[in-house]
Structure formats: C-alpha cells, structure tokens
C-alpha cells in the first residue's frame, strides 16, 4: 500500500544521499579547506553555515509564496501541502541562522544579542512564520485554513524582503554584508578565492538540503492526509 | 446587450408575478433599478466604500462602545508607561514616540478585532457579501471606518501626551507621519483581522499575526517621529518617511489583491 | 431557474455534497429537509454564492456560479437563522443601508424602505435600534431586508430558528403573503409540518445527496415524518 511510485522514492533516496555527502563535504571545507580568517580567526568559520541556512530558509519562504499564489488560483490542496512544508523547513533553517549568528556574535561583537537592524529584522521574520503556524493551528475548517495560510504566507514574505533589503539601506547596521552597503559594519572580512569557494559550496549544499527536507515534509503530510481519508472511509462504512 | 445571457437575465424578471407588483405601493416601481442593473451588476465602487464607512461611523456614534474603550485603553497605556518607567523629563523626551506608537497599535488592534468580530458574529458580514458589491469596495469601506477610529485614538493620544508629558507634539510633519503609519497599519490590520475572526483564540491571534508584519512599518514610523520631534534636519527622517509611503502602497495593493480570497469561501 | 449538475463539496477529506443534481423551476417553492450534517446549509451557501463548489456546475437564472456571482447576487434575497442586521442601527437605517448597497434609485429608496417596514408591520418601530427588537421582530425586519430589492429568488436558511409559536405563525403569514408572492424559493428547515404547508415541492437531503424529491401533493403532512425517518434512516444503514 504505497502512495508513491517506486521511481520517485528512489530519486528522493538518492537526493538524500547527495545532501548528506554534500553536507559532510561542506563541513570539511569549512574546517579544513579555508584557513582561519585574518581578523576574526576561527570564529568566522561558522559564517558559512549561517549564510547557507539563511539561503535555505529563503528558498523555503519563497516556495511558500509561489505555493500560496498557485493555491489561490487552483484550490488544489497539493499547493497547500507545499506551502506548509516550505514554511516549516524555512522556519527550522532560519532558527539555525539565528543561533549560529549568536555564536558568531559573541567573540566578534562581544555579545550574543544586540538590537541591531539585521538581527531585529530576521527575528521579526522568524516571528511572522511562527505566526503562520499559529494561524494554521487556530482555524478548524480545512478549506479555510488552506486559504488563509496561502494569504498569510504571501503577506509574511514582506518580512523576508525587509530582512534582505534593510542591510543595504540602513546606515546604522553593524552586520557584515557581501556587496555594497551604506554601512561600515564590524566584523567584515575580505573575500579570498578559498573563502568564495567555500561560501558557494555551502550555499549550494543548503539549497539541496532545503529541497530535500521540503520533499520529505510533503511526503509526510500526504501520508497524514492518506490516513485521514482512510479513517473517513472506514467511519462512513460503519455509520 | 442582446446576448443570450442578457435575455435569460431579463427572463428572471418576466416571471415575477403581477401580484407582487400590485402589492407594492405604486410609487415603488421596481422597474427602474432593473434597467440600470442590466448594464452594471455591481453597485458603483466609491459609493459602496462610502456607504460602508458611513454605516460603521453611524453605528459607532450611537453605541460609542469602540471609541470609549479605545480611548480609555490609550489613557491607561500612557499611565502605565509613565509609572512603570518612572519617567523624568529627559526620559519622557526619549520615549514619547515609542509610547505614542505602542498605544496606537494596541488600541488599534482592540478596535480592529471588535469591528470585524461584530460583523461576523451577527452574520452581517454575510449580508454584505450577499450584496452585489465589489469585495474590495467592502474592504476599503471597512479600512476607512477603522482608520477613522485609529485616527481618533491618535488624536486623543497626542493631546494626552502633550499635556501629561509636557511636549509640543502638534507638528504638521508629525501628524503626517501618524497618518501614514495609521494607513499602513489599518490596511494590513483589516485584512488580517478578517482572517483572525474565524479562529478559535481570535483576540490573541490578531496581535500574533499582525505585529510581525507591521513591525518594520512601525520602526520607520517611530524613527521618523523621533527625528521630527527633535527638530533634526530633513536627511534624518526623509528616508524613513519614504519607507512609510512605500510600505503603505505595498500594503494597500497587496491587501486589495488578497481580500477577495479571505472573504470568499 | 436553479440548475445544479453533479455538485460536489468537500471539506478537507470530508465530502459534504456528493454529485448532487437538482433543478428548481420558476415559481417553485422547494422545502429542503435533512438531518444535521446532511449538507443542506452548505447547499444553500453555495446557491447564495457564499461558498464555492469543489466541482460541478451551478446555474441561477442562466448565470454560472461562482464565475458570474455578481450577476446572481442582485437577484437573490436571503433570510437566514441569523438576522443579518446591524444591532446598533435603527430598522430604517438598516434598510436604507442595504438599499444603497443594492443600488436602489435614490429617489425611491426612502419610499421603498417605508413601504417595506409597513408591510412587515414595523412602521411604528422604524426609528428604534434593532437591538431592542424581539427575535420575531428582527426576523420580520430580516425579511424586509431580503426582499427590499425585489429579488427573483428567495433563499431561506432555517428561518424559524429561535422563534416562539406566535412569531413563527406570523413569519408563515409574512412568507406566504409578502415574501414569496410567486418568487422561486428554496428553504431549509427542521420543521417538517411547516415546510409541507408552505412549499410546493419537498426534497430530503441525506449524506450529501437528494434522497427523496416529490411534489407536496405526493405525500400528506401526516405521512411525512415516517417518510422522512425511512429515507434518512434507510440511507444511513445502507
């Protein structure tokens, strides 16, 4: 009684192996391929995971917007499943972003937390998607839950945009950025070829991890729905 | 006008029996609206917006439920802040805009959830949805009604803070910031409140949904207000003011596009 | 007038309406019976364009739902178990408000509203706030609101809920003499006797399907409860 074609399952299994191998390789690169950075020393190594996980979260939240629009257009529940799965994965990965950021900030900024625009905005983003989960939990009618979740998934993306854009426009942020900013951040570093290699490899790895996780989450949700449907069938046969 | 659709539509009326019209007093011939409706099934947009906002105002002016509780609530927020932070003159200067916006937002949320919960629980939201009106017109009608309440609260607050914090708050630029901030807040707030009224714990869900979305807007509003109060040069608040305008436009367009999906089942 | 083909409505994984077909002819008054959860309220909400079908076609007066809902809305009057009125507005203000939403000509609005209030016997209370009205009075005002724009079709969703005997009898009278007046109507109700008295046709909905459908003359008022139990019971123990 499988709900999935054998081919797809094999593809997902292979993707899982790939993600695991990529992750190990990425960690090896973080620790051994790049040397300690000139000003920040060893602490800078966490940056690759930090930015990688943010990219993963960004992929998740973007997918939720696409899924939301597609759902509102088609009312096909599969898009809602994609939305839910993407948000959950994005939420998990952005938690990693925040935690790794705190570990990095302690030696560099000397505090775990500071009310700095970038940190504030990423926290707001996290709260927005936590609210998405609360909204889902609070609405009982499944059709309405899907519809509202799609709408809120789109609205909440404004907090992602805010996080991505704010570092470019706010002159008072001390958060480092790649590329031009108006700010003079603390903890900035020069990009050497090795740092660049490692960074791109980590970004790619987390992209693959995000997609893999979302896929697993979709399968899990489909199984839940399958069980639910079987239950209804059994109940209606008895009743 | 001569499509089969139009004809079948006309047929609807053809079968309305003669007795009905005989029973309705003669001066009330229903023929006139029908002819007009044939061209335009939806009542003119801005007339609907105005009618709905007017209805909210009218109902509120009679009961004064919402305004009274919102005004009292803001007075208490100001009191609590003053006492909790044991503010001296210097401290008052630095927190006044924060107090202003926190009070606007919390009183605003109080009003938003009440205004939409009232429509939903009495079934009058269904009555509005049954009418041949554009859903976004209904949305903007509610936004304007809610915005007026929020602005009344803001006005009360400005007066209160001027007196109790001994500060000159009535600056045209500050009023502009208050207006811009309130527009964005009420727009998203009305959209999200029309979702949260369907939830089990709706009073707690609205702040949870709304705050993360409006916080960026709020930060800009607070910064702009502070800079204007301190009489800082234009460069200090200009970018925040621009951000406010951009956020307002995005929220208005976004909410306009999404409201249909929230109310339609 | 109303034409439903292969209508399905699924809430989550739970089918509420299952490939339902139904036609209501012009001037017909259909009473829809059915136990709780049989889908009759959902069906009415779909007809009122308040809910969209999962699949299937619904046509009202030649217009298709939900795509052409705007055209259908102007032709519908709805009386529900909720009054659909504003408590803090007066009876007159309520009707004027809806007269504006339904785009009645400015010149006729006031007269029309006054005439409607008169017809439902609320002329003397026109200036009173709806909150002070009894349930029966609110329901009468709800009827005035529903037929204010002279709709061709009337949908009645459990209109007797919460009414005492006298108020229900008064509602009967109003429905027959003022509201219906030859309009096409669909009413859901638990009250078999009332439905039988008013309607020209009876249908019983069970588990999302029409389980019985006949003219009122086909079954006597006395036989209806037995028939109802048979039909709904038979399908349940399938």
Tell me the per-residue pLDDT of C129-178, one tens digit each, with 9 for 90 and over: 998 998 889 988 998 999 898 898 999 998 888 888 888 888 888 888 77
Question: Neighbours of A (≥3 Cβ pairs closer than 8 A)?
Answer: B, C
What lies within 8 Å, CB to CB, of C164 at 6+ separation is C135, C136
Contacts of C54 in chain A (CB under 8 A): 75
Q: Do B6 and B98 belong to one domain? A: no
Helix ranges restricted to H, C48-134? 69-73, 91-101, 106-119
| Among the partner residues A72, A135, A144, nearest to B205 by beta-carbon distance | A135
Name the range with the highest mean pLDDT among A113-117, A218-222, C170-174.
A218-222
Quote the number of domains for chain A. Answer: 1
Q: How confident is the model at residue C88 (pLDDT cuts 50, 70, 90)?
A: confident
CA angle, B168 then B171 then B176, to 5°: 140
Q: Compute the mean pLDDT over every residue in chain B, rounded to the nearest whole number.
A: 81
Q: Do B58 and B32 belong to one domain? A: no
Q: Determine, for residues B126 and C84 on separate chains, whether the beta-carbon distance falls below 8 Å.
A: yes
Q: Do B77 and B185 belong to one domain? A: yes
Q: For position A39, what pLDDT does the model report? A: 73
Interface contact A73, partner B, CB < 8 A: no
pLDDT beyond 50 at A30:
yes
Interface contact C25, partner B, CB < 8 A: no
Q: Do B30 and B52 belong to one domain? A: no
* B212-216 mean pLDDT: 92
Interface contact B89, partner C, CB < 8 A: no
| Among the partner residues B28, B133, B265, nearest to C50 by beta-carbon distance | B265
CA dihedral B182, B183, B189, B190 (to 10 degrees): 130
Q: For position C235, what pLDDT does the model report? A: 46
Interface contact B129, partner C, CB < 8 A: yes
Domain of A176, in residue numbers? 7-31+45-232
Q: Is residue A1 part of a domain?
A: no
Q: Determine, for residues A232 and C13 on separate chains, whether the beta-carbon distance falls below 8 Å.
A: yes
3-state SS of B123-164 is CHHHHHHHCCCCHHHHHHHHHHHHHHHHHHHHHHHHHHHHHH
Shortest distance between the Cα of A158 and any Cα of chain B, in A, equals: 7
Shortest distance between the Cα of C217 and any Cα of chain B, in A, equals: 23
Helix ranges restricted to H, C76-164? 91-101, 106-119, 135-147
Residue-wise pLDDT for A54-65, tens only, equals 999 999 999 999
Q: Is residue A84 part of a domain?
A: yes
Burial state string for B128-153 with b = 16 or more CB within 10 A and e = fewer than 16: bbbbbbbbbbbbbbbbbbbbbbbbbb
Residue-wise pLDDT for A147-162, tens only, equals 999 999 999 999 999 8
Interface contact A79, partner B, CB < 8 A: no
Please tell me which residue of chain A has the smallest CA distance to B197.
A139
Coil, strand or helix at C206? strand
Q: Do B150 and B20 belong to one domain? A: no
Provide the edge-to-edge strand list for the sheet that holds C2-11.
C14-24, C2-11, C55-60, C63-65
* B38: region left, alpha or beta (phi > 0 left; psi from -120 to 50 alpha): alpha
Chain B residues contacting A via beta carbons under 8 Å: 188, 191-192, 195-196, 198-202, 205, 208-209, 211-213, 215-216, 219, 239, 250, 254, 258, 261-262, 265
Contacts of C45 in chain A (CB under 8 A): none
**Calpha distance B195→C14 (Å, rounded):** 22
Measured in degrees and rounded to the nearest 5, phi and psi for residue B17 equal: -70, 165
Q: Determine, for residues B198 and A120 on separate chains, whether the beta-carbon distance falls below 8 Å.
A: no
* C84-103 mean pLDDT: 91
Residue-wise pLDDT for C26-51, tens only, equals 888 999 998 887 888 889 999 998 88
Q: Determine, for residues A135 and B195 on separate chains, whether the beta-carbon distance falls below 8 Å.
A: yes
Q: Is residue A39 part of a domain?
A: no
Q: Is residue A38 part of a domain?
A: no
User: Of C210, C140, C202, C209, which Cα lies nearest the Cα of C171?
Assistant: C140
Q: Do B27 and B148 belong to one domain? A: no
Put simply, the chain A residues between 52 and 111 with a CB less than 8 A from any chain C CB are: 75
Q: What is the DSSP letter of C76?
A: E
Q: Which position has the higher pLDDT, A117 or B247?
A: B247
Q: For position C236, what pLDDT does the model report? A: 43
Q: Do B66 and B4 belong to one domain? A: no
Interface contact A139, partner C, CB < 8 A: no
Quote the number of domains for chain B. Answer: 2
Q: Determine, for residues A143 and C12 on separate chains, whether the beta-carbon distance falls below 8 Å.
A: yes
pLDDT beyond 60 at A2:
no
**Calpha distance B63→B85 (Å, rounded):** 35
Q: Determine, for residues A158 and B213 on separate chains, whether the beta-carbon distance falls below 8 Å.
A: yes
Q: For position C113, what pLDDT does the model report? A: 93
| Among the partner residues B195, B211, B216, nearest to A151 by beta-carbon distance | B195
Q: Compute the mean pLDDT over every residue in chain A, rounded to the nearest whole number.
A: 87
The answer to whether C175 touches C198, Cβ cutoff 8 Å, is yes
Contacts of A148 in chain C (CB under 8 A): none
| Among the partner residues A75, A141, A228, nearest to C13 by beta-carbon distance | A228
User: Of A153, A185, A187, A152, which Cα lies nearest the Cα of A166?
Assistant: A185
Q: Do B24 and B130 belong to one domain? A: no
Coil, strand or helix at B204? helix
Q: Determine, for residues C61 and B25 on separate chains, whether the beta-carbon distance falls below 8 Å.
A: no
| Among the partner residues B191, B205, B213, nearest to A156 by beta-carbon distance | B213
* DSSP class per residue in chain A: --SS-HHHHHHHHHHHHHHHHHHHHHHHIIIIISPPBTTTBGGGGHHHHHHHHHHHHHHHHHHHHHHHHHHHHH--HHHHHHHHHHHHHHHHHHHHHHHHHHHHHHHHHSSS----HHHHHHHHHHHHHHHHHHHHHH--SHHHHHHHHHHHHHHHHHHHHHHHHHHHH-TT-----SS--SS--TT-----HHHHHHHHHHHHHHHHHHHHHHHHHHHHHHHHHHHHHHHHHHHHHH-
Interface contact B126, partner C, CB < 8 A: yes
**Calpha distance A212→C93 (Å, rounded):** 59
The answer to whether C112 touches C134, Cβ cutoff 8 Å, is no
Interface contact A144, partner B, CB < 8 A: yes
Interface contact A212, partner B, CB < 8 A: no
Contacts of A239 in chain C (CB under 8 A): 236
To test the contact with chain B by mutation, choose from A131, A167, A173 the residue with the greatest count of B C-beta atoms within 10 A, namely A131
**Calpha distance A188→A176 (Å, rounded):** 5
Q: Is residue A187 part of a domain?
A: yes
Q: How confident is the model at residue B3 (pLDDT cuts 50, 70, 90)?
A: very low
Please tell me which residue of chain A has the smallest CA distance to C10.
A143
Q: For position B22, what pLDDT does the model report? A: 38
Put simply, the chain C residues between 181 and 220 with a CB less than 8 A from any chain B CB are: 181-184
The answer to whether A176 touches A187, Cβ cutoff 8 Å, is yes
Interface contact B208, partner C, CB < 8 A: no
Q: Is residue A169 part of a domain?
A: yes
Please tell me which residue of chain A has the smallest CA distance to C237.
A239
The answer to whether B218 touches B181, Cβ cutoff 8 Å, is yes
Q: Do B132 and B187 belong to one domain? A: yes
Q: For position B170, what pLDDT does the model report? A: 84
Q: For position B164, what pLDDT does the model report? A: 83
Q: Do B18 and B113 belong to one domain? A: no
Residue-wise pLDDT for A159-182, tens only, equals 999 888 876 666 666 777 665 555
User: Of C216, C196, C210, C189, which Cα lies nearest the Cα of C33?
Assistant: C189
Question: Which helix H or strand E contains C85, and what residues bound it?
Answer: none
Interface contact C12, partner A, CB < 8 A: yes
Q: Compute the mean pLDDT over every residue in chain C, rounded to the nearest whole number.
A: 86
Q: Do B122 and B65 belong to one domain? A: yes
Interface contact A229, partner C, CB < 8 A: yes
Question: Neighbours of C (≥3 Cβ pairs closer than 8 A)?
Answer: A, B
Domain of B28, in residue numbers? 1-41
Q: Is residue A141 part of a domain?
A: yes
- Mean pLDDT lowest among A90-99, C65-74, C172-181: C172-181
Contacts of B116 in chain C (CB under 8 A): none
The answer to whether B146 touches B58, Cβ cutoff 8 Å, is no
Burial state string for B82-112 with b = 16 or more CB within 10 A and e = fewer than 16: beeeebeeeebbebbbebbbbbbbbbbbbbb
Q: For position B5, what pLDDT does the model report? A: 43
Residue-wise pLDDT for B134-161, tens only, equals 888 999 999 999 999 999 999 999 998 8
pLDDT beyond 50 at B32:
no
Task: Write the ipTM.
Answer: 0.86
Question: Neighbours of B (≥3 Cβ pairs closer than 8 A)?
Answer: A, C
Q: Do B133 and B25 belong to one domain? A: no
Q: For position B28, what pLDDT does the model report? A: 36
Q: Which position has the higher pLDDT, C112 or B22?
A: C112
Residue C12: count of CB within 10 angstroms of its CB: 17
Q: How confident is the model at residue A4 (pLDDT cuts 50, 70, 90)?
A: low
Interface contact A144, partner C, CB < 8 A: no
For C20, C112, C113, the CA distances from C132, given in Å and listed in that order, are 42, 23, 19
Interface contact A161, partner C, CB < 8 A: no
The distance of Cα B31 from the centroid of its chain, to the nearest Å, equals 36
Q: For position C231, what pLDDT does the model report? A: 81
Q: Determine, for residues C14 and A143 on separate chains, whether the beta-carbon distance falls below 8 Å.
A: no
* B225-241 mean pLDDT: 86
Q: How confident is the model at residue B178 (pLDDT cuts 50, 70, 90)?
A: very high
Shortest distance between the Cα of A104 and any Cα of chain B, in A, equals: 25
**Calpha distance C140→C146 (Å, rounded):** 10
Residue C236: count of CB within 10 angstroms of its CB: 12
């Amino acid at each position: 009684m499988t709900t999935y074609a054998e081919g797809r399952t094999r593809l997902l299994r292979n993707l899982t192996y790939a993600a695991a191998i990529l992750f190990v390789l990425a960690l090896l690169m973080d620790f051994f391929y790049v040397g300690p950075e000139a000003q920040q020393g060893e602490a800078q190594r966490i940056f690759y995971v930090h930015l990688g996980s943010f990219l993963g979260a960004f992929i998740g939240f973007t997918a939720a917007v696409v899924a939301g629009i597609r759902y509102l257009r088609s009312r096909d529940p599969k898009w809602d499943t994609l939305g839910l799965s993407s948000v959950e994965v994005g939420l998990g990965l952005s938690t990693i972003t925040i935690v790794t950021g705190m570990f990095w900030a302690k030696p560099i900024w000397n505090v775990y937390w500071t009310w700095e625009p970038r940190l504030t905005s990423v926290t707001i983003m996290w709260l927005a998607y936590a609210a998405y989960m609360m909204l889902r939990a609070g609405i009982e009618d499944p059709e309405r839950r899907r519809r509202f979740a799609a709408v809120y998934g789109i609205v909440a993306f404004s907090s992602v945009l805010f996080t991505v854009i704010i570092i470019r426009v706010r002159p008072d942020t001390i958060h480092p950025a790649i590329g031009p900013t108006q700010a003079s951040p603390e903890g900035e570093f020069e990009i050497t070829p090795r740092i660049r290699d490692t960074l791109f490899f980590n970004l790619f790895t987390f992209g693959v991890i995000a997609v893999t996780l979302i896929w697993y989450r979709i399968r899990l949700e489909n199984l839940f729905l399958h069980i639910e449907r079987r239950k209804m069938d059994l109940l209606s046969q008895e009743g | 006008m001569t499509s089969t659709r139009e004809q079948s539509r006309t047929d609807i009326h053809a079968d309305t029996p003669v007795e009905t019209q005989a029973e309705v007093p003669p001066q009330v011939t229903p023929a006139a609206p029908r002819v007009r409706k044939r061209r335009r099934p939806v009542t003119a947009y801005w007339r609907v917006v105005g009618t709905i906002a007017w209805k909210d105002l009218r109902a509120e002016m009679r009961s004064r439920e919402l305004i009274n509780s919102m005004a009292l609530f803001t007075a208490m927020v100001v009191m609590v802040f003053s006492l909790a932070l044991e503010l001296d003159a210097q401290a008052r200067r630095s927190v006044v805009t924060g107090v202003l916006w926190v009070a606007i937002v919390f009183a605003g949320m109080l009003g938003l959830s009440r205004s939409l919960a009232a429509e939903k629980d009495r079934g009058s939201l269904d009555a509005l949805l049954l009418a041949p009106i554009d859903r976004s017109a209904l949305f903007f009608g509610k936004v304007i009604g809610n915005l007026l309440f929020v602005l009344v609260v803001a006005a009360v607050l400005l007066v209160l803070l001027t007196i109790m914090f001994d500060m000159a708050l009535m600056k045209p630029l500050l009023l502009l910031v208050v207006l811009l901030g309130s527009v964005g807040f009420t727009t998203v707030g009305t959209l999200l409140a029309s979702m949260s009224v369907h939830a089990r714990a709706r009073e707690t869900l609205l702040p949870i949904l709304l705050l993360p979305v409006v916080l960026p807007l709020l930060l800009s509003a607070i910064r702009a207000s502070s800079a204007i109060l301190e009489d800082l040069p234009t460069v200090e608040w200009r970018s925040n003011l621009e951000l406010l305008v951009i956020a307002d436009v995005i929220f208005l367009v976004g909410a306009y596009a999404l409201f249909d999906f929230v109310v339609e089942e | 007038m109303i034409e439903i083909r292969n209508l399905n409505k699924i809430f989550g994984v739970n089918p509420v309406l299952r490939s339902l077909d139904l036609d209501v002819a012009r001037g017909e008054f259909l009473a829809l019976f059915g136990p709780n959860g049989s889908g009759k309220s959902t069906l009415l909400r779909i007809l009122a364009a308040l809910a969209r079908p999962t699949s299937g076609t619904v046509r009202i007066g030649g217009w298709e739902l939900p795509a052409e809902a705007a055209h259908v809305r102007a032709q519908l009057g709805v009386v529900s178990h909720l009054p659909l009125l504003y408590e803090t507005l007066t009876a007159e203000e309520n009707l004027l408000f809806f007269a504006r939403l339904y785009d009645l000509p400015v010149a006729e609005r006031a007269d029309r509203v006054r005439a409607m209030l008169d017809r439902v016997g609320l002329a003397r209370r026109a200036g009173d706030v709806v909150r002070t009205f009894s349930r029966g009075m609110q329901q009468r005002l709800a009827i005035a609101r529903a037929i204010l724009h002279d709709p061709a079709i009337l949908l009645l969703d459990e209109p007797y809920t919460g009414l005492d005997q006298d108020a229900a009898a008064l509602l009967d009278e109003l429905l027959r003499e003022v509201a219906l007046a030859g309009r096409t109507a669909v009413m859901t109700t638990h009250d078999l006797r009332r439905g039988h008295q008013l309607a020209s046709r009876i249908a019983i909905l069970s588990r999302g399907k029409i389980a019985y459908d006949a003219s009122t003359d086909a079954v006597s008022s006395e036989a209806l409860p037995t028939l109802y139990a048979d039909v709904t019971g038979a399908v349940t123990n399938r």
